[in-house]
């Protein structure tokens, strides 16, 4: 196939400045899905993508949901016997607070040379996931410009609620299963192993998100008058949260580890060859000591072990200075990362029962569910995976590796269950991309070679 | 003395509408001392008071400090052998958040009839402490208008940092001790026992305020990538805070109870005659079960036992929706109420050592001190106290009672140590005044009979 794709790769190289312009246009749209204030911006991003896709010869449309809209697009392939692929990405982004920690405004993308020869694209969503999904669109563009056709039939699904629990996704897949059904899915929302080594993710942790609100007195109280006698909801909350782990770092919820299996020795051995250490992994964010379960490697902790994390907490007076108040309520956002066959619904119920058991009779608790999905494990040796592995290895300095992943991409499980198709998880982010954090970036190299990687993968899949 | 004060009391009654206008003017000034945004408003309150005091014949001035200014005023007394009193109040107020819980704008005072015949003055600071300090000024006004003189020599000290730890107070007292020295202090910042029973407070808990900031990674992290391996500062914080109490409600800090004495049986017996119960005390704020140390009455818990309270906590994502983040830092504001001879400096150090012992080696903690003062115990049977008790009993439906108090008014200890004088703590707030909370109010009856009470007390002290 190499004869065919060389001009396509060259076209992608030549297109790069304009490809970047297009990515910048998309990044400028403030599509924060979790905050209702940005509803119109989410729609704008969807409409922008539809216009781009129509321009590339797709039949594309904005598709309504009860939340932010989906984008669906279809394009025929040149070869009748080539597979039909469903490409997935998300156009929504994380909130940007704390805004004061950004070096530049989050929605004003720019190219920055952070060390000699190393340029990055800065801005919210550059890595998660706008830069990633644009690698695919720009691969398609180069292909179309050279061959006036695509190597295989492509359906595209972009969602706008990935960062807020994807509430509309399952109903949408269910209602449109026939239209979206393909031979397999390509999902571009993951990372490379390192800047030279592409990676295909074969395992993804599941997720259960819960918000709890503890309510005590019917008003904020003066801690002098009432302190020592009135229930303090922050005490109740910290007691609940501190009780989630024992001294060995294990989660204490009853039956929490049901369905968690030890990682097979051969997989652990393969991971060990990657040379990851706690010092290297944590050192990149200023830490050095693994927290969580004792006696396990950081790869095991983040790829193969479940967690309970507090993602946010608030209660009482949090402004400048001091206020001697006993708050009327306090709340926390808690998430559990799941592995193996852990059941999200059961874990949510166990957590709620635990919380209820710790709330005094004259206080109350409210629960708000935020997403729930089981862990995903893809077969380590499918032909899909092997084809992609070879195509990626042609593009990058080092051969592609098959890895686990700590994050949760519930769509992969949804595709399995609702469309009956497997996913290939390929992405070009780096672990220092600061996704979900201030100063998010995407390597210019990731963008450029990401485009070239998809050209190679599409071509290899069509062969 | 009754012959002399009847016209003064009648004048106070006649003045009431205008007295309220003046109080409203003062309440409209947004003198939130803890928030730097309201610096100019604090000065405005001080200047307003100086103008009022000069109008009453005092020699009054705004006195600079490194923080918000003091107000100091002097007035001679008619009788050479009458005592010289120092009256203390504070013109600053608590922050108003959460603003959405206020029924009316906090700085637009109004009279509201909350049940037939029961009117209250609503607004931030109406009870704590603007309404209270104005009872004294209006008592002075009535006296002056009738007698063109005051029954005794009066010095007035108003501070503007009481709600933010009084950082400038001690240096100011030290630098101006000769000018402020009097025979005793009158402090109007406390409450009645109930709406019919005036109270003199003979015990005040001390206070240690500490803010702790736990810092982990050098940025916010994605809980998928790093969860299970990277330290979560909210976990560390909740673990620290949950560990402050054991299952019996006792504070676990080493030597915390050094200097705490059991309340004498006769005092406990006197408290029992007040008829307070957990149901009544906590019922007014929607609670019923005493928290804190087991096996003690709510009066003992709030008047005679030390506490550790979390007054505020924040970390991670606290906006709408969900963000799967591991925060870079988390913080809490913690206060300890002290009794007996507990040493604020020692308790601060013990707390800090405890916190440090719980912070992993790759994380760090910052401490910010917010105020520290020991508990105060005034003699239960001084002639000052007995004189005031009788004067108050003449004004109100039920005789005055001598009580403990859960709050902290560090000024009382400062007056003891730096001016060598005792304080008389008389105030007309009610426990449901919602001070420090949304919808603060002050009973119209408290204001009116408070003015009349000071007329009686000043007259009795001068006799």
* Distance (Å, whole) CA B61 – CA B99: 33
For chain B, give the mean pLDDT.
94
Q: What is the pLDDT of residues A337-350, one digit of tens each?
A: 999 899 999 999 99
Distances (CA, A) of A230 to A200, A235, B88, B312: 54, 11, 29, 16
Select the residue of A205, A218, A315 nearest B312 (Cβ to Cβ): A315
Distances (CA, A) of B415 to A39, A361, A420, B180, B190: 58, 43, 79, 10, 17
Q: Report cis status (omega within 30 of 0) of the bond before A179.
A: no
Distances (CA, A) of A91 to A204, A207, B399: 20, 20, 71
| Of the candidate ranges A45-59, A176-190, A346-360, B410-424, the one whose mean pLDDT is the lowest | B410-424
Are B232 and A309 inside 8 Å of each other by CB? yes
Q: What is the pLDDT of residue B135?
A: 98
Chain B neighbors of A201, CB-CB under 8 A: none
Q: Does domain A206-260+306-373 have CATH number 3.30.70.360?
A: yes
Q: How much is the average pLDDT of A46-67?
A: 98
Contact B201, B329 (CB under 8 A): no
Nearest CA in chain A to B278: A229
Q: What is the pLDDT of residues A312-360, one digit of tens each?
A: 999 999 999 888 899 999 999 999 999 989 999 999 999 999 999 999 9
Is B94 within 8 Å of chain A by CB?
A: yes
Chain B neighbors of A293, CB-CB under 8 A: 228
B160, with CB counted inside 10 A (0-12, 13-18, 19+), is: buried
Are A437 and B281 inside 8 Å of each other by CB? no
Both tokens assigned to B73:
């005023």
Asked whether the domain spanning A206-260+306-373 has the same topology as the one spanning A2-204+375-462, the reply is no
Q: How much is the average pLDDT of B186-193?
A: 93
Q: What is the pLDDT of residue B79?
A: 86
Are B301 and A228 inside 8 Å of each other by CB? yes
CA distance, residue A287 to nearest chain B CA (Å): 6
Q: How much is the average pLDDT of B185-212?
A: 92
ipTM exceeding the 0.85 mark = no
Q: What is the pLDDT of residues A8-38, one digit of tens each?
A: 999 999 999 999 999 999 999 999 999 999 9
| CB < 8 Å from A in window 343-372 of B | 360-363, 370-371
Query: Please, what's the b/e burial string for A312-333 (b: 16 or more CB within 10 A of its CB; e: otherwise)?
Result: bbbbbbbeebbbbbbbbbbbbb
Chain A neighbors of B322, CB-CB under 8 A: 34, 164-165, 209, 211, 311, 333, 335, 370-371
* Distance (Å, whole) CA B203 – CA B190: 11
* Distance (Å, whole) CA B282 – CA B183: 39
What confidence category does residue B380 fall into, taking pLDDT thresholds of 50, 70 and 90?
low
What confidence category does residue A309 fall into, taking pLDDT thresholds of 50, 70 and 90?
very high
- Asked whether residue A431 carries a pLDDT value surpassing 90, the answer given is no
Q: What is the pLDDT of residue A381?
A: 67
Q: What is the pLDDT of residue A172?
A: 97
Is A16 within 8 Å of chain B by CB?
A: no
Q: Which long-range contacts (CB under 8 A, 24 or more apart) does B295-299 make?
A: B297/B268, B297/B271, B297/B272, B298/A229, B299/B271, B299/B274, B299/B404
How many beta carbons lie within 10 A of that of residue A31, not counting itself? Answer: 28
Is A165 within 8 Å of chain B by CB?
A: yes
Q: What is the pLDDT of residue B381?
A: 67
Q: What is the pLDDT of residues A85-94, one digit of tens each?
A: 999 999 999 9
CA distance, residue A169 to nearest chain B CA (Å): 17
Architecture of domain B209-260+306-373: 2-Layer Sandwich (3.30)
Q: What is the pLDDT of residue A380?
A: 64
Q: Which of A214, A209, A212, A210 is nearest to A316 (CA)?
A: A214
- Mutate which of A42, A161, A238 to test chain B, going by most B C-beta atoms within 10 A? A238
Cβ contacts of A414 within 8 Å, gap of 6 or more: A169, A170, A173, A373
What confidence category does residue B371 fall into, taking pLDDT thresholds of 50, 70 and 90?
confident
Architecture of domain B2-204+375-462: 3-Layer(aba) Sandwich (3.40)
Q: What is the pLDDT of residues B20-46, one digit of tens each?
A: 999 999 999 999 999 999 999 999 999
Q: What is the pLDDT of residue B411?
A: 86
Q: Report cis status (omega within 30 of 0) of the bond before B98.
A: yes
- Asked whether residue B418 carries a pLDDT value surpassing 80, the answer given is yes
A191, with CB counted inside 10 A (0-12, 13-18, 19+), is: buried
Q: How much is the average pLDDT of B256-275?
A: 86
Q: How much is the average pLDDT of A408-429?
A: 90
Is A78 within 8 Å of chain B by CB?
A: no
Q: What is the pLDDT of residue B402?
A: 81
What confidence category does residue A1 fall into, taking pLDDT thresholds of 50, 70 and 90?
very low
Q: Considering only the C-alpha atoms of chain B, give the largest distance between any 2 of them, rounded to a whole number of Å.
A: 82
The 3-state secondary structure of chain B, one letter per residue: CHHHHHHHHHHHHHHHHHHHHHHHHHHCCCCECCCHHHHHHHHHHHHHHHHHHHHCCCEEEEECCCCCCEEEEEECCCCCCCCEEEEEEECCECCCCCHHHCCCCCCCCEEEEEECCEEEEECCCCCCCHHHHHHHHHHHHHHHHHHCCCCCEEEEEEECCHHHCCCCHHHHHHHCHHHHCCCEEEECCCECCECCECEEECEECEEEEEEEEEECCCCCEEHHHHCCCCCCHHHHHHHHHHCCECCCCCECCCCCCCCCCCCCHHHHHHHHCCCCCHHHHHHCCCCCCCCCCCCCCHHHHHHCCCEEEEEEEEEECCCCCCCCEECCEEEEEEEEEECCCCCHHHHHHHHHHHHHHHCCCCCEEEEEEEEEECCEECCCCCHHHHHHHHHHHHHCCCCCEEECCCCCCHHHHHHHHHHCCCEEEECCECCCCCCCCCCCEEEHHHHHHHHHHHHHHHHHHHC
Q: How much is the average pLDDT of B451-456?
A: 98
Contact A314, B310 (CB under 8 A): no
- Asked whether residue B414 carries a pLDDT value surpassing 80, the answer given is yes
Q: What is the pLDDT of residue B1?
A: 44
Residues in chain A: 463
Is A59 within 8 Å of chain B by CB?
A: no
- Asked whether residue B424 carries a pLDDT value surpassing 50, the answer given is yes
Strand (E) or helix (H) holding A314:
strand A307-316
Cβ contacts of A265 within 8 Å, gap of 6 or more: none
Both tokens assigned to B405:
């108090």
For chain A, give the mean pLDDT.
94
Select the residue of B217, B237, B335 nearest A223 (Cβ to Cβ): B335
Both tokens assigned to B355:
């916190």
Q: How much is the average pLDDT of A279-300?
A: 93
- Asked whether residue B443 carries a pLDDT value surpassing 60, the answer given is yes
Q: What is the pLDDT of residues B125-141, one digit of tens each?
A: 999 999 999 999 999 99
Chain B neighbors of A220, CB-CB under 8 A: 436-438
Q: What is the pLDDT of residue A192?
A: 94
Q: How much is the average pLDDT of B251-263?
A: 94
Domain boundaries, chain A: 2-204+375-462, 206-260+306-373
Contact A176, A156 (CB under 8 A): no
| Of the candidate ranges A197-201, A222-226, B173-177, the one whose mean pLDDT is the lowest | A222-226
Is B248 within 8 Å of chain A by CB?
A: no
DSSP A377: E
Instruction: Select the more confidently predicted residue: A383 or B62.
Output: B62
Are B221 and A436 inside 8 Å of each other by CB? yes
Q: What is the pLDDT of residue A2?
A: 42
Both tokens assigned to B100:
């959405």
* Distance (Å, whole) CA B452 – CA B448: 7
Helices A383-395 & A444-462 angle (0-180, nearest 10): 130
- Output phi, psi for B198, to 5 deg: -70, 155
């Amino acid at each position: 196939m190499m004869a065919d794709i060389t001009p396509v790769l060259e076209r992608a190289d030549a297109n790069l400045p304009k490809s970047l312009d297009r990515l910048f246009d998309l990044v400028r749209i403030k599509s924060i899905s979790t905050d209702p204030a940005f509803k119109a911006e989410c729609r704008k991003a969807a409409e922008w993508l539809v216009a781009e896709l129509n321009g590339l010869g797709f039949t594309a449309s904005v598709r309504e949901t009860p939340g932010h809209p989906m984008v669906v697009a279809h394009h025929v392939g040149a070869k009748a016997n080539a597979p039909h692929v469903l490409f997935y990405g998300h156009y929504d982004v994380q909130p940007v607070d704390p805004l004061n920690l950004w070096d530049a405004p989050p929605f004003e993308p720019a190219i920055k040379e952070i060390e000699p020869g190393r340029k990055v694209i800065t801005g919210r969503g550059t890595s998660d996931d706008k830069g990633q999904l644009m690698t695919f669109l720009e691969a398609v563009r180069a292909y179309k410009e050279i061959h006036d056709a695509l190597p295989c039939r492509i359906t595209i699904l972009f969602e706008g609620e990935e960062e807020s629990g994807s509430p509309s996704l399952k109903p949408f897949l269910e209602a449109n299963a026939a239209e979206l059904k393909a031979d397999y899915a390509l999902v571009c929302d993951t990372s490379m192993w390192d800047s030279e080594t592409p990676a295909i993710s074969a395992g993804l942790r599941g997720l259960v998100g819960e918000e709890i609100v503890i309510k005590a007195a019917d008003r904020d109280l003066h801690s002098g008058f009432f302190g020592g006698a009135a229930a303090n909801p922050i005490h109740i909350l910290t007691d609940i949260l501190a009780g989630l782990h024992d001294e060995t770092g294990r989660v204490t919820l009853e039956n929490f580890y049901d369905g968690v299996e030890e990682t097979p020795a051969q997989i652990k051995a393969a991971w060990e060859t990657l040379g990851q250490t706690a010092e290297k992994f944590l050192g990149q964010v200023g830490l050095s000591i693994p927290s969580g379960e004792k006696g396990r490697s950081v790869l095991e902790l983040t790829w193969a072990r479940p967690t309970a994390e507090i993602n946010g907490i608030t209660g009482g007076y949090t402004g400048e200075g001091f206020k001697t108040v006993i708050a009327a309520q306090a709340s926390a956002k808690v998430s559990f990362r799941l592995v193996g066959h852990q059941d999200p619904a059961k874990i949510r119920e166990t957590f709620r029962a635990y919380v209820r058991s710790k709330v005094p009779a004259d206080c109350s608790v409210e629960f708000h569910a935020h997403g729930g999905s089981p862990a995903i494990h893809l077969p380590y040796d499918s032909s899909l995976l092997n084809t992609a592995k070879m195509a990626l290895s042609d593009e990058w300095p080092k051969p592609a590796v098959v890895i686990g992943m700590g994050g949760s991409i519930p769509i992969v499980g949804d595709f399995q269950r609702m469309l009956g198709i497997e996913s290939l998880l390929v992405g070009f982010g780096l672990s220092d991309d600061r996704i979900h954090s201030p100063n998010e970036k995407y390597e210019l190299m990731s963008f450029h070679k990401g485009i070239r990687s998809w050209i190679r993968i599409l071509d290899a899949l069509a062969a």
